[in-house]
């Protein structure tokens, strides 16, 4: 089906259309002795897994001195299901030390980011990443991003479906077709197609209207936040046999302050499909978004708006018509209702289905680095070099070491203790269930701090005796919500410099949006506001009632009344 034409299109759409399938002039710009790329190429870099950034801490001073911005680049890898071998992890660790700010950062989509890479090192960095059999292609940009999956469903006997392998298959199937990435970064010779034109059979010449996110989950572990994805895929298992996949569509949490036409949305239940139809169905859903998603307004371009504009029934009919030619019969059966969801942080020691062990380690806000006596970067390197575990990255920004032999558990524990690395036993419930995005100083969209202040907020709350509170706490520097605060039981979103909105009422399972509690709170007042909420919860909650459930039952005004009294 041809792409939908529009009389009015955004600048990004024109850049994509004129990019020669994502090439632009990136290769030519790389050879120039400059610190950054011009605007059009900086937009195309995202498709290659690269964001152009600058040090916002230094921005105003440099402007005053009439200097250009202090540019650097963030590079994001693409790791379906968050899987790495020990050799790959050590390779990324070495690249980090060589070219970036010497920290690795685990993202909330189960992949790794490098920060602080300079333009002159971009080609070498990406080349070395690819030599480790990892690439960054499609980790950003208007394509299907990193496909998420429960990180241990193939190694833990509590699970019965290997969603990790499926995530890889989906990711590979939905990759862009253009060879531009390999020509620019891997020095692949451009193929002479003769009279035949280059094509993008899935994405077309202008790719998708916006980014597109897919995640796979099981009811007993919604760690990927299924309902926040453009497409959520839920394995339906009956009598220990996979009978199909529930499909959910239209999730997305990004919005803009004071623009009610933008909003977070949970994915809608579409229907059940047979296991052998999954990949073809996902392809057709992507194509519907390609053909009908808004190209006039990027703030209205995610699939959630398409579904709200045209309706779920229209979407289902459009999908049925597209796949019917493949299967000759109705695609969707009724959605199989799920009684309840659970979520798991995967922290601590767990027995694998092959009698080895896996170990989940808490990484505060995903930042793998050495700070003072706490040397997680050094300790992880030592463990991985000595015991050769496979690596899994979690949607909560933590790391899992896989296939550790029974006789090596005490040796691993000794290394953790030596480097003062957080284990499940010495991280508080509150801290262990918290997440923050990078925000300042590198993110160009951040309105306020997140990663640099959340640990201090939790420090204060722990000192006041609230470390044992079990709730999901998410903080983001802006309403793009990369750390998923709109589904947190307690969400904090940056409004402007040192100002935040506080939200309450999500649930621990990630199936409910929260609501705004207070707006424009000064950063120094965040802890007192949270303390008031926690005190009201302790004094008034019902037995076994979670914090988010208590907030919903009380209502926003009810909470404020409880606190005043």
Query: Is-catalytic flag, 551?
Result: no
Distance (Å, rounded) from C-alpha 122 to C-alpha 212?
Answer: 25
- Scan for tokens 């199989």, then name that residue: 336
Catalytic residue of the set 96, 140, 150, 443: 443
Integer-rounded Cα Rg, in Å, for the chain is 23
Q: Which of 16, 46, 76, 210 is catalytic?
A: 76
* C-alpha span between 161 and 157 (Å, rounded): 10
> Does residue 46 carry a catalytic annotation?
no
Q: Given 140, 437, 474, 512, which residue is catalytic?
A: 437
Spot the catalytic one: 482, 484, 512, 551: 482
Q: Give the rounded distance of the alpha carbon of 148 from its chain centre.
A: 8
Q: Which two tokens stand for residue 552?
A: 């919903």
Give the C-alpha separation, 279 to 273, whole Å: 11
Pick the catalytic residue from 392, 478, 484, 512: 478
78, 119, 213, 302: which is the annotated catalytic residue? Answer: 213
Torsional sign, CA 500, 505, 507, 513: negative
Pairing assessment for the beta strands 399-404 and 112-117 based on DSSP bridges: unpaired
What 3-state DSSP class applies to 15?
A: helix
> How far apart are the C-alpha atoms of 56 and 63, rounded to whole Å?
11
Catalytic-role residue among 23, 145, 290, 512: 145
150 is catalytic: no
Rounded-to-integer distance, Cα 329 and Cα 313, Å:
18
Asked if 277 is an active-site residue, the reply is no
Residue 358's H or E segment, with its range, is strand 357-361
Single out the residue of 527, 518, 475, 523 nearest to residue 496, CA to CA. 523
How many C-beta neighbours within 10 Å does residue 131 have? 11
How many CA atoms within 13 Å lie on the side-chain side of 194? 1
Q: Known catalytic residue: 211?
A: yes
Residue 443 annotated among the catalytic residues of the structure: yes
Q: Is 223 noted as a catalytic residue in this protein?
A: no
Whether 478 is catalytic: yes
Catalytic residues: 76, 145, 211, 213, 437, 443, 478, 482
């Amino acid at each position: 089906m041809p792409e939908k034409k529009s009389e009015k299109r955004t600048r990004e759409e024109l850049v994509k259309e004129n990019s020669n399938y994502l090439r632009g002039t990136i290769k030519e710009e790389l050879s120039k002795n400059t610190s950054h790329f011009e605007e059009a190429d900086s937009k195309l870099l995202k498709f290659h897994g690269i964001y152009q950034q600058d040090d916002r801490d230094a921005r105003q001073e440099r402007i005053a001195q009439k200097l250009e911005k202090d540019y650097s680049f963030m590079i994001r890898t693409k790791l379906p299901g968050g899987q790495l071998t020990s050799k790959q992890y050590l390779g990324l660790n070495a690249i980090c030390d060589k070219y970036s700010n010497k920290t690795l950062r685990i993202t909330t989509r189960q992949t790794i980011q490098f920060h602080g890479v300079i333009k002159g090192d971009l080609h070498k960095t990406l080349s070395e990443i690819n030599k480790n059999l990892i690439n960054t292609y499609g980790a950003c940009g208007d394509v299907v991003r990193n496909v998420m999956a429960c990180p241990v469903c193939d190694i833990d006997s509590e699970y019965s479906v290997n969603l990790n392998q499926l995530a890889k298959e989906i990711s590979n199937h939905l990759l862009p077709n253009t060879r531009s990435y390999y020509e620019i970064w891997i020095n692949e010779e451009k193929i002479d197609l003769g009279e035949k034109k280059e094509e993008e059979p899935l994405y077309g010449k202008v790719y998708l209207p916006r980014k597109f996110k897919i995640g796979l989950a099981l009811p007993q572990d919604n760690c990927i936040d299924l309902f926040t994805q453009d497409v959520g895929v839920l394995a339906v298992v009956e009598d220990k046999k996979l009978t199909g996949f529930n499909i959910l569509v239209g999730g997305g949490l990004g919005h803009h302050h004071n623009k009610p036409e933008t909003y977070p949305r949970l994915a809608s239940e579409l229907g059940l499909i047979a296991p052998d139809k999954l990949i073809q169905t996902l392809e057709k859903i992507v194509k519907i978004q390609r053909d009908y998603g808004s190209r006039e307004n990027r703030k209205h371009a995610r699939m959630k708006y398409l579904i709200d504009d045209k309706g779920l029934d229209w979407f289902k009919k459009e999908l049925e018509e597209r796949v019917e030619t493949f299967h000759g019969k109705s695609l969707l059966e009724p959605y199989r209702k799920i009684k309840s969801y659970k979520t798991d942080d995967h922290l601590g020691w767990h027995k694998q289905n092959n009698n080895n062990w896996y170990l989940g380690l808490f990484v505060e806000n995903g930042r793998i680095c050495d700070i003072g006596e706490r040397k997680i970067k050094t300790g992880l390197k030592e463990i991985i070099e000595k015991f050769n575990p496979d690596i899994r990255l979690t949607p909560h920004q933590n790391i899992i070491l896989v296939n550790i032999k029974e006789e090596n558990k005490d040796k691993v524990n000794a290394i953790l203790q030596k480097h003062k690395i957080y284990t499940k036993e010495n991280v508080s419930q509150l801290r262990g269930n918290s997440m923050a995005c990078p925000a300042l100083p590198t993110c160009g969209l951040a309105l306020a701090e997140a990663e640099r202040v959340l640990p201090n907020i939790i420090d204060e709350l722990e000192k006041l005796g609230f470390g044992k509170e079990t709730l999901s706490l998410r903080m983001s520097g802006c309403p793009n919500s990369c750390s998923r605060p709109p589904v947190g039981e307690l969400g904090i979103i940056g409004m402007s410099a040192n100002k935040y909105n506080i939200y309450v009422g999500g649930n621990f399972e990630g199936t409910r949006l929260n609501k705004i509690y207070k707006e424009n709170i000064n950063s120094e007042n965040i802890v007192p506001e949270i303390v008031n909420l926690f005190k009201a919860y302790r004094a008034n909650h019902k037995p076994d009632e979670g914090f988010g459930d208590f907030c919903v039952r009380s209502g926003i005004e009810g909470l404020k009344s409880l606190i005043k009294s």
